[in-house]
Amino acid sequence: MTGKTHVAVGVATGLALSTGKPVKEQFFLIITSAIGAVIPDLDHPKSKLNQKILIFNNKFFKVLFYVLIGIGFIYLDSIVENQEFKILGIIMILTGMSSHRGFTHSLLGFLLFSSIAYTYSIKFGINEIYLGFNIGYVLHLVMDFFTPKGIQLFFPITKNISSPITIKTNGEGENLLFIGSSFYSLYFLIQFIR
């Protein structure tokens, strides 16, 4: 699936879950659902997010960038002894080293990224950070599971698994999902404005 579809589904789900909640909770649910929906594609050098943060959008620079960031976080952990930095360091190194739909598209990747979201959710007392992030992330994995390439759900085992029923990336099925999610979001936004 493409980045725009992941974001559209993440936002639509965040909007749906935020109905009837206070504005602060709505805001965090929607934003973190969108963030969670794009984070798994950090493993692809040409993903929407990497196009913004990588100077060169190629595999070599992606590996170099994330491994150096990871080493920096691990070094920071050794100075301030903050477990979050060690986990972030491990996440960044594994993200840099893995192929597309590898570590970040696995249960291990989900659990590690989710632990960081949980930590910040507790730290700031905002449960919606954890909830929204996890929903966006899981939806991303489910959507990519339905593509012909599938995902390495059980990384470090490198076998890709996919649904017997698949949706071609940038195909009609994905376009319908994008349009449907976009209209669904517009509907909720109109209801909110009223």
pLDDT tens digit sequence for 127-179: 999 999 999 999 999 999 999 999 999 999 999 999 999 999 999 999 999 99
CA torsion sign, 19 to 23 to 25 to 30? Answer: positive
User: Three-class SS of residue 83?
Assistant: helix
Which tens digit of pLDDT belongs to each residue from 46-75? 888 888 888 888 889 999 999 999 999 999
Is residue 87 assigned to a domain?
Answer: no
User: How many domains, the chain?
Assistant: 1
Which domain does 30 fall in, by range?
A: 3-43+127-193
Distances (CA, A) of 177 to 10, 33, 104: 12, 17, 22
Is residue 110 assigned to a domain?
Answer: no
- Average per-residue pLDDT for the chain: 93
Supply φ then ψ for residue 160, to 5 degrees: -80, 135
Scored b (16 or more CB within 10 A) or e, 68-86 reads ebbeebbebbeeeeeebbb
160, 151 contact by CB (below 8 A): yes
Is residue 92 assigned to a domain?
Answer: no
Is residue 16 assigned to a domain?
Answer: yes
Percent with pLDDT over 70 in the chain: 100
**Cα–Cα nearest to 106, from 141, 132, 133:** 141
Query: Model pTM?
Result: 0.92
For residue 193, what pLDDT is reported? 76
The C-alpha atoms of residue 71 and residue 86 are separated, in whole angstroms, by 9
For residue 75, what pLDDT is reported? 95
Is residue 105 assigned to a domain?
Answer: no
For residue 50, what pLDDT is reported? 85
Is residue 55 assigned to a domain?
Answer: no
